[in-house]
Amino acid sequence: MHYVYIGLGSNLSDPGQQILLALNSINELPNTDLVSTSSLYGSKPLGPQDQPDFVNSVCLVKTELSPQGLLEALKKIEKDQGRVKKRLWGERLIDLDILLYDDMEMTTEELTIPHSQMHLRDFVLKPLVEIAPAIKIPKLGSAEQLLAQLADGYLITLNS
């Protein structure tokens, strides 16, 4: 069994619902169980500002899928849910990112674990620390400390 943290983000077509839909699909993957899910967080877009605010969340799954197998499964969920690529760093219906996979470190053309930008993003670290207060990112250390050191904040209060 492997323990994997997945980041979820959406800023189109009722983002909160898109996140919940994706969590359901993740829980239905073969040999994969959802262990815990963070609250939903509102955030200002990182990237072009002429796009809607995001909803972000992080979940923990227990899985027998390999990193590559899980990546392909997550891409299929994104596609089935109706994601179409619009522009770089632009709006998205649903984005599913592998953040941490056990304490693995790996880089391929398709996949970098830990996620290369996660330590710079409060909309990733805050929900991560909510469900895993003591979590450490390989080479970088405590997610809680990394969060405290961040200069820029994207998080906003969600009004739903």
Interacting residue ranges for ligand ROI, rule: CB under 6 A? 9, 43-47, 54, 56, 89, 95, 123, 154
Catalytic residue among 87, 92, 102, 121: 92
Between 134 and 151, name the residue whose CB sits nearer to ligand ROI. 151
Q: Between residues 41 and 101, which has the closer beta carbon with respect to ligand ROI?
A: 41
Q: Residue 46: which residues within 8 A CB-CB, separation 6 or more?
A: 89, 121, 123, 154
Q: Residue 153 Cβ, how far from ligand ROI at the closest point, in Å? A: 10
In the residue annotation, 121 being an active-site residue is answered as no
| Gap between the Cα atoms of 128 and 47, Å rounded | 21
Min dist. Cβ of residue 66 to ligand ROI (A):
24
Which of residues 33 and 53 has its CB atom nearest to ligand ROI in the complex? 53
**Residue 53 is a catalytic residue:** no
Quote the strand ranges of the chain, DSSP E. 2-10, 32-37, 41-43, 54-63, 95-101, 106-107, 112-113, 136-137, 141-142, 155-156
Is 95 part of the annotated catalytic residue set?
Answer: yes
Q: Contact at 8 Å (CB) between 95 and 78?
A: yes
Residue 80 pairs in a beta bridge with none
Q: Could you tell me the smallest distance in angstroms from the CB atom of residue 18 to ligand ROI?
A: 11
- Cβ-closest position to ligand ROI: 9
Closer Cβ to ligand ROI, 31 or 114, answer by number: 114
CA distance 36 to 26: 12
What's the distance, CA 83 to chain centroid? Answer: 15
Active site (catalytic) residues: 83, 92, 95, 97
